[in-house]
Amino acid sequence: MTLLRLLTWPYVRKHRLRSVLTLAGIMLGVAVFVGMHGANQTVAQAFAATVNRIAGKAQLQVSAGETGVPEEVLEAVQSVREVGAAAPVIEAVLNTNLKGQGNLLVLGVDMTGDRSLRDYDIEGGEEDVVEDPLVFLAQPDSLILSRKFAEANGIQRGSRITLDTMQGPRQFTVRGLMKSDGLAGAFGGNVAVMDIYAAQFIFGRGRRFDRIDIGAAEGVDLETSQNKVRAVVGEGYDVLPPASRTQQFDAISRSLSITINLTSVFALMIGVFIIYNSFSIAITQRRNEIGILRALGASERDVLRMFLAESAAAGLAGSILGLGLGLLMARSLSPFMSNMVRELYGTHQMPDGVSMSPWTMAAAVALGTAVSLVGGWLPARSAARVDPVKALQKGRYQVLSEGENRIRRIAALVLAAVSIAIVVTRPTLTIFYFGYGLMVLALVLLSPSLSHWIALSLRPLLRLIRPVEGTLAADSLIQAPRRTSATVAAVMLSLALAVGFAGVSRAIYTQLLDWVDDTLNPDLFVAPTESVTQRSYRFPLSMTSEIAQVPGVEEVQAVRTVRVQLKGVPAMAVVVDVRQVAGRVKYKPVDADPVEMVQLASEGKGAILSTTLAVIRGIKKGDVLELASPEGILKVPVLGTRVDFSDQQGAFIIDRSLYSRVWKDETANAFRVYLRKGEDPEAVRRRIIERFSSNRKLFVFTNASIRELIMRNTEQWFGMTYIQLLVALIVAVMGIVNTMTVSIADRRRELGVLQAVGGLRNQIRNTVWLEAVAIGTVGLVLGWLMGAVTLYYNIEMIGGDMAGLDLDYVYPFRFALALFPVIVGAAFLAALWPAEAALRASLVESLEYE
């Protein structure tokens, strides 16, 4: 403690900027971790909160993915003695058409008995939720609104509001208001309740409910009730507690979680390098103090403790600041992420503020502190081992000995060899990821040598640009690799991440375009909402022939996309008339004869899997899908696999005949419309809208606009690349500012001599600028190289674990080249302040330095 007070504190005060940069390194890593996880948790919590509030006192829910539960199942469930209450539910999200209010979660319930499961009003019954329950049930336009939503929009009992429904915009009468807690607090308070049978009609559910909520009978334990209900409804239905819906949400947003974890890990790794860099520099500058301390009797352990305590304190302070910044980031990111989750997965939630578990916050602070200790460990150990005699000598501390370099190179080569062996043999995915880690470590170990060689090759170029300043800048780099290696490694890592992600994005994008070209080839698409993933509304199948009668239309293909339970986890089923679609879309399986596959699928004898689903669930051609259905577990053989982007977690195609027979669902989510030759898509589009304007709410997309929509969703996902690029830039700037500040301090005498012998101020500036640009360039070149390796691993991870896509390895040259001006510009900006600081130094003091 005394050492910290006497030595560390004065150093921190003297080098405020560097101390701030050290804190900023940790802060950045922790902020990215907290920001990404915070936004993700906020969205997940908002979903869970909505689920919990809607569930009310329900202990179990009977559901069948998105296929719904037939009405007769309700009676069967209600007949179970161990069930105290069973109430049907329909859940849908409507556009409010009210400025700034967004969507409204509409819950269809049976008000004659739903109150045994959900609280609608003030306890004690001092006020009715609905003025006249009979009128509420008798009139299908009846709506109960949350008081919060009503007050925010000046709505009172008796007011009429217009909502978009399957039958087009319709007026609803507000016949009741709910207090703003309990159920009314779900979905950020944007909640409405309507009669379940009116909801069936309005949302096109036919004679189905979305699920049945259950409360166990008095004195009956949950498990008994669950088993009895299971026995009655059969294996085709899930009978689970409401909380399981959040687990299913986790399952369908798995890719997002993996991406967030990867980004967070990289951000923290970069934090390690920034801390390492700062502490290496601090120890270099304070080697005299360390020498004196050691000469006065301080032990190696004392010195080690002092520096570890410094790094722990910096880590803790940086983590706390990072936590604050991260929470702000999470607040800004969560609406974006909520929107992305809604578009990608079709789930609904409305984040309000930031919800983050105290455990995650504690973990962030602990991780930040640990990262700081890891980053500070090597410099601290090196400080502890300083020979007091050598430390008190002025010398070439920044030079790495050839022996030290050789050891690093050998270790790197060994690690790389092991990693390559793992790639070749690939025993398990976990070992493959371990191999990836080894390869990253190998490249980090190799980075000083590589930096040295790149700096050597840059020397002639820098000399060509500025003979004196260029040579000085290059030599400074070459002679002091310890000073620059951590910065270079941090820049390398962050750019490698960005390059790897950009490469994968590009490869996915290319495959997506191919899929869009092959599969999404109709001239028009008819959908009930503006979003292709939104499945609240459905059309009756009978609309197929109605659209076909519109002049100019040649063929209409009905599509039903629905999540069904595949071994307890939802999987997207794409229901089409396979033979009809195959007439227009060339199915290209990767492992089957296309003619035979289409033939069998069209006869309802099997399913065509997306490669993503096959990889994620470990299913291959010839296996049998076990799907939960009203008939129990339906066994569907896998006929083949093909690339299909219908759903991020994979999808499978089955024929309409099979689906209708088993699920008895005669609805569609969309129609694919092909036009007669020579017809103007825009004109036919208008005709379809006109034909249904009086009785249907629908959106007709042209081929170009649906492509644009899909690409926009995809780009939103790839927007993560920009976050990583931003992190990379901040790392580059911070690292270079730090390194250049030290470089100038180390070279005060050299720069002083240059000025003394007539060197111009601009020459000093140019020297500093060129050195900074050279550091950026070395980091960039290494980032390009490591990016190539990262890209390989990313593609293998995407192919083998995350998405099951067989992506082509194509290096993103355009993106990589675009990084050049960005990094060079950032390096130049980072050097501006240190260059001016160098000019401000006293010439006499500089010449006396050392």
Partner 1 sequence: MNRWIIPALAAIAATAQDARQIVDEAQKRARSNSQHYEGTLQVLDGKNRMAEKRWQYDRIGAFGDSKAVLRFTAPAEVKGVALLIHNHKDRASDQWMWTPAIQRDRRIALQDRSTRFFGTDFSFEDLEERDSAHHDYKLLGEETVEGAVCWKLESQPRPGRSSQYTRSLVWIRKDLYAFVRVEAFRKDALVRRIRYGDFENVKGIWTARTLEVEDVTRKSKTVMKLDKLDYNVPLSESGFTLQALRRGS
User: Which of 743, 770, 733, 823 shows the shortest CA–CA distance to 21?
Assistant: 733
133 versus 540: smaller Cβ distance to partner 1: 133
Q: What is the smallest separation between the CB atom of 790 and partner 1, expressed in angstroms?
A: 59
Q: Alpha carbon of 837 to those of 470, 757, 831, 841, 844: distances in Å? A: 19, 20, 10, 7, 15
Q: What is the smallest separation between the CB atom of 192 and partner 1, expressed in angstroms?
A: 17
Reading the block at residue 281, the tokens are 């520099």
85 versus 731: smaller Cβ distance to partner 1: 85
44 versus 85: smaller Cβ distance to partner 1: 85
Coil vs helix vs strand at 640? strand
Q: What is the smallest separation between the CB atom of 203 and partner 1, expressed in angstroms?
A: 13
Helix (H) or strand (E) holding 79: none
Q: What is the smallest separation between the CB atom of 195 and partner 1, expressed in angstroms?
A: 8
Q: What is the smallest separation between the CB atom of 107 and partner 1, expressed in angstroms?
A: 17
Q: What is the smallest separation between the CB atom of 87 and partner 1, expressed in angstroms?
A: 8
End-to-end CA distance of the chain: 29
Q: What is the smallest separation between the CB atom of 200 and partner 1, expressed in angstroms?
A: 8
Which chain residues interact with partner 1 by CB under 8 A?
Answer: 75, 78, 83-86, 110, 112-113, 115-116, 125-126, 128, 130-135, 137-140, 197-198, 200-201
**DSSP string for residues in 180-242:** SSGGGGGGGG-EEEEEHHHHHHHTT--SEESEEEEEEPTT--HHHHHHHHHHHH-TTSEEE-T
Q: Alpha carbon of 147 to those of 122, 178, 179, 719: distances in Å? A: 12, 5, 6, 37
CA 648 – CA 572 distance, rounded (Å) = 9
Q: What is the smallest separation between the CB atom of 85 and partner 1, expressed in angstroms?
A: 4
CA 131 – CA 461 distance, rounded (Å) = 84
Strand partners, 108: 90, 194
194 versus 356: smaller Cβ distance to partner 1: 194
**What contacts 288, CB < 8 A, 6 or more positions away?**
391, 392
Burial environment of residue 430 by CB neighbours within 10 A (0 to 12, 13 to 18, 19 or more): exposed
2 versus 171: smaller Cβ distance to partner 1: 171
- Taking each continuous run of H as one helix and of E as one strand, the counts in the chain are 30, 22
199 versus 350: smaller Cβ distance to partner 1: 199
CA 447 – CA 786 distance, rounded (Å) = 10
Q: What is the smallest separation between the CB atom of 176 and partner 1, expressed in angstroms?
A: 11
Q: What is the smallest separation between the CB atom of 191 and partner 1, expressed in angstroms?
A: 21
131 versus 387: smaller Cβ distance to partner 1: 131
20 versus 76: smaller Cβ distance to partner 1: 76
**Do residues 450 and 758 lie in contact, with contact meaning Cβ atoms separated by under 8 Å?**
no
Reading the block at residue 553, the tokens are 């239309």
- 354 — alpha (psi -120 to 50), left (phi > 0) or beta? beta
128 versus 300: smaller Cβ distance to partner 1: 128
Q: What is the smallest separation between the CB atom of 175 and partner 1, expressed in angstroms?
A: 10
Q: What is the smallest separation between the CB atom of 174 and partner 1, expressed in angstroms?
A: 15
115 versus 765: smaller Cβ distance to partner 1: 115
What's the 3-state SS for 323-341? HHHHHHHHHHHHHHHHHHH
141 versus 801: smaller Cβ distance to partner 1: 141
215 versus 787: smaller Cβ distance to partner 1: 215
- Beta strand 569-576 with 553-566: parallel, antiparallel or unpaired? antiparallel
Rounded to the nearest 5°, which phi and psi values hold at 728? Answer: -60, -40
46-82: burial string, b at 16+ Cβ within 10 Å, e else: bbbbbbbbbbbebbbbbbbbbbbbbbebbebbbebeb
56 versus 650: smaller Cβ distance to partner 1: 56
Say which DSSP state 115 is in: G
- Beta strand 539-540 with 569-576: parallel, antiparallel or unpaired? unpaired
Q: What is the smallest separation between the CB atom of 368 and partner 1, expressed in angstroms?
A: 53
CA 604 – CA 16 distance, rounded (Å) = 72
